[in-house]
Chains A and B, each alone.
Chain A
Amino acid sequence: MQETTLTVNGKTHTVDVDPATPLLYVLRNDLGLRGPRFGCGLAQCGTCTVLMDGRPIRSCILPVSRTRGEITTLEGLPEDGKLHPVQQAWIEEQVPQCGFCQNGQILTAAALLSNSPNPSDEEIRRGMNPILCRCMTYYRIQSAVKRAATAMAGTSGEEDR
């Protein structure tokens, strides 16, 4: 056991765990978060995705001692109590079926759009491809990413004016 300090959703936490513990178990079992979930433990499916300094990573294989910077989970995505445009688009498109994988889908889409605000269909497919969904909601996910891109473009346009 060893004390590790990490910043999650804007708050600093110190946990006393084996430093090799994958971040996922610390987030779920020590910090009580529900967004990231165990899917494979192999970094293959993306169900456990969190953002580390804005970049999607697989928390199921990252040792907690190797986390750096700011961790953002699905719970931390809204700003000022307002859902992230990607989350809003997910509701408007009624994307989820069971919803188990949607944590990874939403966070990956948010990261995709922050890097590429107006992605082509091909960019969306390529960017989202690593996140698996066994209810196969891919079709609606891709629609929702486009919807979110449009919404975000509209928002930034207003700011420009």
Chain B
Amino acid sequence: MTRGRDPGNGRQAPDTIERALGHWEGSASRRDFLKTSGLFVFGLSAMGAAGAARQALGSQPAESGPYRDPDFLQLDSWLVVHEDGSATFYLGKTDGGQGIGTATRQMMCDELDLAFDRATVVMGRTDLTVDQGGSGGSDAIERDAMVGRRIAAEARRVLLEMASERFGVPVEELRVSEGVISLNGDPARTVTYGELVGGRRFDVALTGANINQAGGVASVKPVQDLKLVGQSIPRYDIPAKVDGSFEWAVDVRLPGMVHARNVRPPFAGATLTALDESSVRDMPGFLRVVRKGNYVAVVCEREEQAIEAAERLAVTWEKPATAPFPASDDLFEYLRSAEPEPGSERRGAAPVQGDPDGALASAATVVEAAYDVPFQGHTAIGPAHAVADPSDGQMTIYTNDMKPYSHRTGIAEFLGMPPEQVRVIWMEGPQLYGRTAADDAGFEAAYLAKELGRPVRVQWMRHEETAWDTKGPAFAIDLRGGLDADGNLVALDYQARIANYAHVGYNQARTVLIAQLMGLRPDQPSPGGARGPDDMYHVPNRRGETRAVRLPLVFETPLRTGNLRDPNGPQITFAAESFVDELAAAADADPVEFRLRLLRGATDDDEVFRRARSIAVVEAAARAYGWDARPSPGRLGDGPLLTGRGIAYTYRARTTIAVIAEVEVERETGRVRVPRMVCAHDCGLVINPDGLENTIQGNLLHGISRTLFEEVRFDGETVTSVDWRTHPTLTHRDAPERIDVVVVNGDPNPDRPDLRPYGAGEPSHKPVPAAIANAVHDATGVRMRRLPLRPERVLAELAAAGV
């Protein structure tokens, strides 16, 4: 377990977490479990378990199709009890390494009254698991696992009724412990779940207008009665990931399978004018060149042969008549001067409050600032990959696409096949964070498999992944704020321009890259979402507007945008929360005190108490850090290392977060390091404290990486970020030495029996860039308004300020 970590590395939780959870969680028995729990090794492969369970029910899905959708209104679609009394949960979810499977299993076992190690989970198989949409929006625990809880509660209710009938006593006279039902008055008389329904169907109908509302008659337990929820149960997938036995989507090997590699246009928007197949025809293992429009792939018997053939294939491309985009150095000037797309105004922005222009005109002090965030890539550690099997006229795709259900319908439409002949089997892959919400490789593998009539494995190369994956959109954000004579914020105007005109969407048949290269086009481009800053600040006069700007090349572009972890949140919050710091400095106020004043400027709250929970995380972060209240910047040091601290706060959906970063800036080089971070995080009911801590740590470090290192570079013809040198990432050397995760429960009634869990997969990523930039300002007096904070950029600003 995670206890007793080396304090030298500053690992504060889980003790901190447990203390913070004390209001609702702190029973001794749970802590004892932490000490004594063993490791639960996931013994069966997901597919083995899935098949075995369905076989036991006599409803093994036909391997050759048609592949029918499991009915979410049937209990048997979600939960199977085996003859030995163990259970399998079927979830239409996917896991990007945040422990969704483990946490959901905890929640469902708790409702079912079954030991954690007596259950397994099957996720993301369109022929076996109900369509919960896969992953996205940090809602796996908040929404989907809550459905799981209701289903498991219903199964427990039905099992108790079966026992009641068997024993001829009312349900009230029965008790359940770990899958065994006994009589209150005669504990020797017992019956197990396995004896009651093992290997057989429940045949119980559920209700619910849609899958998110599915449930039965039973109610879920009050939080106080949950035993597994709140425990740091080790993740079931980790042992196999550590000993090399885990089977990933990259590991799928099928009889007769061949290997494909894509050949991408060397210039964005280029047109293929000639292709000379004789350049590769005589290579060993060569099978086919497949070409349609500007899509080209080479298929060979062996993987290394396909790689070499794709490099050697002679293709002639013609550059487009118009430059596809400005060079990355000219991007922000372009965004600010271009005409925004008609109709893209105010997308997602809050309505205007008060009279922002009038209030700015009469303000005692007006502050203005402009912020720039470049395109940033997903750059997954492993490039896109998939295997497609066209056997028996069906199509099976093995993929790490995080949304297997739309992957299935998208591929079916793309291939012109009925959906019931297509199934998608999700397997784990290199992270997800939005990149695999529209996984191109699955479409490519399916297309090639259909062409060749045999199983095809596609994998992208590094240069292809870094240049052509989906990008988090660039932003140019202008802010104006007005302070009254007492330093109160009376007006705030947020104006954003976003290079987000051709969002790739979610596995649509005409927006994935292969479709675009083949000349297919959606009916209209999608500008994606564009909400404004997320905060609970009370500002009487306020406006927030976002306009989408179109780059010249809209389709077949390597600057296509897609959801990147907390889509747009880090960019927007970088500007918004940096600007709040600028306003605090103009008001000569402490940044924490200034924020608390804005949060307390109103007393109304919403149904999830976002105001109270915002105040709670800001206070908790400051306390955990040991914040010394004073205006920023601090006194400029005279040594080679300038140090400072900065805070940023925001919320994402119903989760509130405050992050404090401590930085060191090297005066000589401009290099920024973040030796320490504190994150106060309120996501309501915590299912697995250690899993939550790991997820938050990853969010914070990913945020440091985007703040200090990551930028997609391009000239006027092509993306020049093609590997880890040209799109750098955070490494071991720059990881913080100390991270304190403070789990907060700021609900006004912290012991409420219906306390809900809120999302945690992305929220803590969001405030990181602003917290670091604010700390750099505190350390140096220099305000960095453009990401990433590369040393040369910081050095130039230091020089300009005479630091």
**Residues of A near any B CB (own CB < 8 A):** 1, 17-18, 21-22, 25, 28-29, 32-35, 37-42, 44-45, 47, 73-75, 77-78, 83, 87, 90-103, 106, 121, 124-126, 128-143, 146-147, 150
Chain A residues in 8 Å Cβ range of B238: 90-91, 94-96, 99
Contacts A22-B304, A98-B431 hold; do A39 and B462 have CB atoms under 8 A apart? yes
Query: 29 A-B contacts, Cβ less than 8 Å apart?
Result: A18-B304, A18-B305, A25-B302, A28-B251, A37-B250, A38-B382, A40-B462, A41-B461, A42-B462, A44-B725, A73-B244, A74-B243, A74-B244, A75-B245, A77-B244, A83-B242, A87-B242, A91-B242, A93-B2, A96-B97, A96-B238, A97-B694, A100-B382, A100-B431, A102-B242, A121-B8, A129-B732, A134-B431, A146-B9
Chain B residues in 8 Å Cβ range of A139: 9, 11, 697, 701, 735-736, 739
Residue pair A137, B732 in contact (C-beta under 8 Å)? no
Enumerate the 7 nearest inter-chain pairs by beta-carbon distance, A residue then B residue, closest first.
Answer: A97-B97, A136-B701, A98-B97, A99-B241, A74-B244, A138-B735, A35-B244
Residue pair A25, B303 in contact (C-beta under 8 Å)? yes
Chain B residues in 8 Å Cβ range of A130: 731
Query: B697 touches which one: A106, A128, A140 (CB < 8 A)?
Result: A140
**Consensus secondary structure, chain B interface:** loop
Residue pair A132, B724 in contact (C-beta under 8 Å)? yes
Chain B residues in 8 Å Cβ range of A18: 284, 304-305
> What CA separation (Å) do A38 and B705 show in the bound complex?
22
CB A10 to nearest CB in B, in angstroms, measures: 14
Chain B residues in 8 Å Cβ range of A40: 462, 723-724
Query: B303 touches which one: A29, A39, A92 (CB < 8 A)?
Result: A29
Chain B residues in 8 Å Cβ range of A21: 302, 304
Contacts A41-B462, A97-B698 hold; do A34 and B246 have CB atoms under 8 A apart? yes
**Residues of B near any A CB (own CB < 8 A):** 1-2, 5-6, 8-9, 11, 39, 96-98, 234-235, 237-239, 241-248, 250-251, 253, 284, 302-305, 307, 379-383, 428-432, 459, 461-462, 690-691, 694-695, 697-698, 700-702, 704-705, 723-725, 729-733, 735-737, 739
**Consensus secondary structure, chain A interface:** loop
Residue pair A87, B304 in contact (C-beta under 8 Å)? no
Chain A residues in 8 Å Cβ range of B700: 136
Residue pair B6, A137 in contact (C-beta under 8 Å)? no
Nearest A residue (CB) for B731:
A129
Nearest A residue (CB) for B383:
A38
Residue pair A137, B242 in contact (C-beta under 8 Å)? no
> What CA separation (Å) do A106 and B239 show in the bound complex?
13
> What CA separation (Å) do A10 and B429 show in the bound complex?
29
Chain B residues in 8 Å Cβ range of A147: 5-6
Residue pair A75, B1 in contact (C-beta under 8 Å)? no
Most chain B beta-carbon contacts within 10 A, residue among A101, A103, A136: A136
Query: B732 touches which one: A22, A29, A74, A138 (CB < 8 A)?
Result: A138
> What CA separation (Å) do A100 and B250 show in the bound complex?
10
> What CA separation (Å) do A140 and B704 show in the bound complex?
16
CB A86 to nearest CB in B, in angstroms, measures: 9
> What CA separation (Å) do A14 and B98 show in the bound complex?
40
Residue pair A94, B8 in contact (C-beta under 8 Å)? no
> What CA separation (Å) do A106 and B246 show in the bound complex?
15
Residue pair B242, A135 in contact (C-beta under 8 Å)? no
Nearest B residue (CB) for A40:
B462
Residue pair B303, A137 in contact (C-beta under 8 Å)? no
Query: A1 touches which one: B284, B694, B702 (CB < 8 A)?
Result: B284
> What CA separation (Å) do A100 and B381 show in the bound complex?
7
Contacts A97-B695, A125-B732, A138-B735 hold; do A133 and B381 have CB atoms under 8 A apart? yes
CB A28 to nearest CB in B, in angstroms, measures: 8
Residue pair A97, B462 in contact (C-beta under 8 Å)? no
